[in-house]
Structure 1
Amino acid sequence: MIKSMTGFGRGESSDGIHSFTVEIKTLNHRYNDIVIKMPKHIGYLEERVKKIIKKYIIRGRVEVYINLEYINETNVDINVDIPLAKSYKSALERVAEELNIEEKITLDNIVSIPEIIKIQRKEEDEEVIWNCLKPAVEDAVDYIMNMRIKEGEELKKDVLLKINNFKEIIKSIEKKAPFIVNEYKEGLRKRVSELLGDEFNLDEEKLMNEVVFFADKSNINEEIVRLYSHINQFESSLELNESVGRKLDFLIQEMNREINTIGSKVNDIEVNSCVVEAKSELEKIREQVQNFE
């Protein structure tokens, strides 16, 4: 089943204490690159999140955003450093006295100092947090996978249409190939006649040697056979239930190589025109395949 590398998924879950929101965005990438942004104090769950994602997403850049909100704050300790507060109060009073400031020191002046009041989260059970986070991750992955599959099916239809167009171009080249040698032979005979005149007796043996040399040099049967083989492999790969993006990309490179060889071997206007069309179609296919997982 063909899957696109791009997509977006979102999941939410809550256990009455914790409320998680998970958003996953996937982009084109040669490898499986997973980047997770989550609250630092639950960073120890990162590998568990990656394990779920890797189970379903084999290739592409995966950006994961995890947000945690506490429905109530029963899991925090508030510590007040009374000795430090007294020291600050005394210091502020001395400053006010020295500078002849009559303004009184208020509670706001004291609590605005960061070190006075410290909020610390109580140590939480890792499994409790994970059991709340896991459903949100799974929902987000499930959503994004459905999106990637749907988009992949649309990409597949487009690529099949283009590979069929490419196949028709190869058929045109194949039909033209048998006539190339005869056309070369007649063209060579005509050029010699134009240059030397009708009175010149053309050596048929030398002519045939030249034609045989040209026929061997311009033979593209092997390239045609390999192209059909690559096309068959390409079409078969589109039906596989696995990640095939890299394989398809490789097959496109091989087809492009064979087309270039045909273009260099055959000096024929029609064939060269077909070669240009074939390369253009391959480039369109390659652009789409870049989106395949």
Structure 2
Amino acid sequence: MSIASMTGFARANGAVGEFLWTWELKSVNGRSLDVRCRVPQGFEALDGLARQVAAEFLKRGNLALTLGVDDVASRGRLAVNRPALDQILALMKELDGNVAAAQPSLDGILGLKGVLEIEVPQVDAELMATRQRAIEDGLRQAMCELDAMRRREGGRLREVVFAHLDEIERLTRAAAACAGAQPGQIRARLESQVKELMPDGIAVDPDRLAQEIALLAGRADVREELDRLHAHIGAARELIAAGGAVGRKLDFLCQEFNREANTLCSKASDLALTNIGIELKAAIEQLREQIQNIE
């Protein structure tokens, strides 16, 4: 099972006679599945269906669905309201000669409120049901296309994430090699500091010096942090290989990566290990940015 990105776009359209419909779906990153649906008046019942279909295909992401319709037949045509026109003509005849006024023009009469009307044909229940089924089929088609696009993007993310994990592993091995030289460096640095501070002719107890070196080496020991980093790298690779909605788990692993890298930097007793720790934190941040887009 592959991983999927949370970013995608899909469109589906169709027609039932002169009735045209279009679905547009857009998804972006989100902590959970958040669906927003915009439908024209008269199609409000599709909101619940849209949420149900989205839950069948997606686990996480902010999803916006928009339905547009254009019923050519329902645009209507202009018609004269004969009863209203007859009333107006009768009043004009009745008032003719009693009121000093110019004869009204045809466009003036037609411009009176209620004389011209738009006739909208009625849609029977069977035709409405046919349109509804076509729109519902289109929704599933668009959702399939969106899911396919998110999975294609997930395939590209998979390669990017593996590359970042390889870099983190390389830096972890470099940190292990650098940390292996720390006890000797600590001893040499401590002996040098003792020589500078102690007056000439006064010897330092070798046993006490060995105790101090052991204490400092223990505080600077980063083997546990490096072992956990290796374990986290393996766990991340297994999650990606397993596929599915693993984004949350990978995000949690990134937090653990950061915790170990921060501890490593705080324990580092030389510049080389500190620099590796900084590079490691940068690589982990790059990994986290990519993981934020995984479902």
TM-score (norm 2): 0.85
**Deviation of residue 124 (structure 1)?**
3.6
Judge conservation of contact 2:265–2:273 (CA < 8 Å) in 1.
yes
1:10 aligns with 2:11: yes
Judge conservation of contact 2:33–2:59 (CA < 8 Å) in 1.
yes
Using a 3 Å threshold, how does the CA distance of structure 1 residues 88 and 236 change in structure 2: closer, same or farther? farther
Using a 3 Å threshold, how does the CA distance of structure 1 residues 113 and 161 change in structure 2: closer, same or farther? farther
Using a 3 Å threshold, how does the CA distance of structure 1 residues 130 and 198 change in structure 2: closer, same or farther? farther
**Deviation of residue 101 (structure 1)?**
5.3
Determine the C-alpha separation between the residues in 2 that align with 1:259 and 1:89: 91
1:192 corresponds to: 194
1:72 corresponds to: 73
Q: Which whole-Å deviations, capped at 9, do the CAs of 1:140-188 have from their partners, x for residues lacking one?
A: 1222222211111111111101110110100111122232122111210
1:284 corresponds to: 286
Judge conservation of contact 2:178–2:273 (CA < 8 Å) in 1.
yes
2:50 corresponds to: 49
Determine the C-alpha separation between the residues in 1 that align with 2:241 and 2:91: 77
Using a 3 Å threshold, how does the CA distance of structure 1 residues 266 and 113 change in structure 2: closer, same or farther? farther
1:216 aligns with 2:218: yes
Q: What SS does structure 2 have at the residue aligned with 1:155? A: helix
Structure 1 gaps, min length 5 = none
Q: What SS does structure 2 have at the residue aligned with 1:13? A: strand
Determine the C-alpha separation between the residues in 1 that align with 2:80 and 2:114: 12
Superposition CA RMSD, Å: 3.1
Determine the C-alpha separation between the residues in 2 that align with 1:262 and 1:48: 51
1:272 corresponds to: 274
Judge conservation of contact 2:37–2:47 (CA < 8 Å) in 1.
yes
Judge conservation of contact 1:78–1:118 (CA < 8 Å) in 2.
yes
1:149 aligns with 2:139: no
Using a 3 Å threshold, how does the CA distance of structure 1 residues 61 and 120 change in structure 2: closer, same or farther? farther
Q: Superposition pairs for residues 173-184 of structure 1, below 5 Å?
A: 173-184=175-186
Using a 3 Å threshold, how does the CA distance of structure 1 residues 98 and 122 change in structure 2: closer, same or farther? farther
**Deviation of residue 192 (structure 1)?**
0.9
Q: Superposition pairs for residues 248-259 of structure 1, below 5 Å?
A: 248-259=250-261
Work out which of the residue numbers 116, 119, 133 in structure 2 matches 1:131: 133
- Could you tell me which amino acid in structure 2 is paired with residue 16 of structure 1? G
Judge conservation of contact 1:166–1:281 (CA < 8 Å) in 2.
yes
Q: Which whole-Å deviations, capped at 9, do the CAs of 1:57-93 have from their partners, x for residues lacking one?
A: 211111112112225349x899987777778889999
2:39 corresponds to: 38
TM-score (norm 1): 0.86
Judge conservation of contact 2:81–2:115 (CA < 8 Å) in 1.
no
Determine the C-alpha separation between the residues in 1 that align with 2:142 and 2:215: 64
